[in-house]
Amino acid sequence: MTVIVGSRRAWHGVAELVLAGPQHRDTGELALAVVPGGFRTTAGPDLRVEGVELVYAGGSVPIDGATCASLAAAAGVDVGAPKDLYSGGSSVAPDEVLAIDPDAAAVLAAAFFAGDSALRRFAPAQRPILWPEHFDIGITVDEVNYGVSAGDSYHEEPYAYVGPWTPREGAFWNAPFGAVRAITELSDVDALVAFFTEGQQLA
């Protein structure tokens, strides 16, 4: 497992079992939000991940070497993914020891923050949501999904995507679910917006 894959798994597990699960059980809200350096709950309890730390009211705790169960206990919430909402997810167990690298966390944070900024420019009326199931920040416009993923089994490192609900044909559409571009191929927010715009035009 590469450093970025391991760090992504740790972030995804914390997002799902420590933030989204408790939030959904408390409020019915599933969505998370991107912030500089990481992500946060949107409806409470007030929790966020900043780099390699979980931050909660009154303190913070390192993620590296911890488990989702121990992190949840420190934050005063019940560990566990949202129940009966989806079949995928991080596959991280509550007692799995997490490993996270600061540099890899910074790469993930930069990808999410650039994605959030680009989506807000591309579709100002939409609210980008960080979804705990696939761990991607996205929006939907006219039956086309746009967003940035932290990476997955299809593409290990962060990537931007355009995913029409119905298949499209042509050179632009290079993935089974639409079009993908590695974040490393998109130099800045302008390039991300241009990718989303091209996808919208071709879709």
pLDDT digits (tens, 9 = 90+) for 85-113: 998 899 999 999 999 999 999 999 999 99
**CA angle, 69 then 7 then 95, to 5°:** 20
In this structure, what are the phi and psi dihedrals at residue 20, rounded to the nearest 5 degrees?
-70, -40
DSSP assigned state of 97: B
Residues 6+ apart with CB under 8 A from 112: 34, 38, 39, 130, 137, 148, 150, 158
Contact 39, 46 (CB under 8 A): no
Query: What is the arrangement of strands in the sheet containing 59-62, beginning at the earlier edge strand?
Result: 59-62, 53-56, 47-50, 38-41, 32-35, 129-131, 136-141, 144-149, 159-164, 179-182
pLDDT of res. 189: 98
Rounded-to-5 percentages of helix, strand, coil across the chain: 35, 25, 40
When pLDDT is cut at 50, 70 and 90, the band that residue 44 belongs to is: confident
pLDDT digits (tens, 9 = 90+) for 117-129: 999 999 999 999 9
Helix count and strand count (H, E) for the chain:
5, 10
User: Diameter of the chain by CA atoms?
Assistant: 53
Q: Residue 146: beta bridge partners?
A: 139, 162
- CA atoms of 116 and 34, how far apart (whole Å): 7
Question: How many beta carbons lie within 10 A of that of residue 100, not counting itself?
Answer: 24
Instruction: Write down the pTM of the prediction.
Output: 0.96
Q: What percent of the chain has pLDDT over 90?
A: 94
pLDDT of res. 1: 67
